């Protein structure tokens, strides 16, 4: 798997994931892992992974890590108890594998089912409860592919593996989208509003998508946006990611632009592209589930997730487009009670 593809998978996964260095310290945590335990990524990067585990689980984890780095096992699955920032303890099944190229351990955590028990709607409850079982085959296949890649020498065989990885990534994207919609319908997301640094969020998004844009021969530009907004940083990021992904998918040449502007008491976050555009009679349909363009390879749920999150957060979303010229999607986010733009 290429570095850009791994970064995209890691960041966008609707599953808690964390990278841990050889010394045991956290190198990077994806947004879902931060939400899972209630920590900012910058706080987690000052901790060892074992700091997050219940004291009784730390000894066994240390032995497993020794065996992983020693090469006696390729991966491991453990039942752990995680300590949240607010003092709560949450059970989770931890899948651990070695990423030799980065000299890191990848920890993928499947959350316990305590929250699922509160879901009443049948289909949403089934999908939310089955999330772990649906993801497990993907994690197992990915683990075996990593082992196989390190043993193959024929370049033609590596080409075949690369195609398998692309197919798995498409499968993973569709599964994550389906599970995210089910979680939204089931009411598993709780909005936690705070004063968010919008510029830092947009900077991270641009850094994540820039390699993917470059691979398509596109320029992705971010306009600095020195403002704080009143939102849930985790859910706001989940809302913005499909807009960038959608812009990338439907743009063949030119550039993408992400930035913000003041409008009617709100901060409007906008994603511009020079893509194929959307016909006027289709623009009102793009936020409906399973609406896909001719070149779309997924389930057509990305913008449906945007619509659901915008209603949950009360952040209105707008779209305008011209066929052959491109599209602009905007999200209106309120300022904090005493917030203001810094430096204009």
101-160: pLDDT as tens digits: 778 898 888 765 444 444 444 555 555 555 555 666 666 676 667 667 667 777 777 777
Number of domains in the chain: 2
pLDDT at 75: 84
- pTM to 2 decimal places: 0.60
Q: Cα-flanking dihedrals φ and ψ of residue 202, to 5°?
A: -65, -35
Q: What is the CATH number of the domain that holds 61?
A: 3.30.450.20
Give the pLDDT band (50/70/90) at residue 16: confident
Which tokens is 125 given? 């409850």
- Which pair of tokens denotes residue 241? 């990611």
Last residue within a domain, chosen from 128, 156, 186? 186
> pLDDT confidence of 325, banded at 50, 70, 90?
very high
Q: Count Cα neighbours of 288 within 13 Å in the Cβ-side half-sphere.
A: 7
Residue 343 forms part of a structural domain: no
Question: Is residue 314 within 8 Å of residue 331, measured between CB atoms?
Answer: no
Q: 217: domain range?
A: 194-334
Which of 186, 208, 239 is the endpoint of a domain? Answer: 186
219-222/255-263 β-pairing? parallel
For 296-316, the pLDDT digits (tens) are 555 456 788 888 899 999 999
User: Is 108 in the same domain as 12?
Assistant: yes
Give CA separation, 92 vs 10, 77, 229, in Å: 18, 10, 32
289: DSSP letter: T
Residue 256 lies in a domain: yes
Same-domain pairing of 16 and 148: yes
Q: Is residue 341 part of a domain?
A: no
């Amino acid at each position: 798997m290429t570095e850009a593809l791994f970064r995209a998978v890691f960041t966008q996964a609707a599953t808690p994931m964390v990278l841990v260095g050889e010394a045991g310290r956290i190198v990077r945590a994806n947004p879902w892992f931060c939400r899972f335990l209630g920590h900012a990524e910058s706080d987690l990067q000052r901790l060892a992974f074992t700091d997050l585990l219940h004291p009784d689980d730390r000894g066994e984890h240390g032995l497993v890590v020794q065996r992983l780095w020693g090469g006696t096992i390729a991966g491991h699955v453990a039942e752990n108890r995680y300590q949240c920032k607010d003092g709560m303890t949450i059970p989770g099944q931890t899948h651990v594998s070695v990423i030799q190229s980065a000299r890191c351990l990848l920890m993928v955590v499947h959350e316990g089912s305590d929250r699922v028990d509160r879901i009443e709607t049948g289909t949403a409850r089934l999908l939310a409860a089955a999330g772990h079982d649906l993801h497990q085959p993907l994690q197992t296949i990915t683990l075996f592919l990593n082992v196989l890649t390190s043993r193959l020498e024929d370049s033609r065989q590596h080409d075949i593996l690369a195609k398998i990885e692309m197919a798995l990534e498409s499968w993973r994207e569709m599964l994550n989208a389906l599970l995210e919609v089910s979680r939204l319908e089931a009411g598993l997301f709780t909005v936690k509003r705070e004063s968010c640094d919008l510029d830092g969020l947009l900077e991270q998004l641009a850094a994540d998508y820039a390699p993917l844009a470059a691979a398509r021969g596109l320029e992705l530009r971010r306009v600095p946006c020195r403002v704080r907004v009143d939102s849930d940083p985790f859910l706001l990021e989940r809302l913005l990611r499909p807009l960038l992904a959608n812009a990338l998918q439907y743009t063949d040449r030119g550039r993408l632009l992400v930035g913000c502007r003041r409008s009617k008491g709100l901060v409007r976050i906008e994603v511009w592209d020079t893509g194929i555009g959307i016909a006027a009679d289709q623009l009102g349909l793009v936020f409906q589930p399973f609406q896909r363009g001719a070149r779309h390879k997924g389930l057509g749920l990305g913008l449906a997730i945007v619509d659901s999150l915008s209603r949950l957060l009360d952040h209105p979303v707008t779209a305008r487009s011209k066929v052959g010229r491109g599209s602009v999607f905007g999200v209106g986010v309120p300022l904090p009670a005493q917030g203001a733009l810094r430096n204009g």
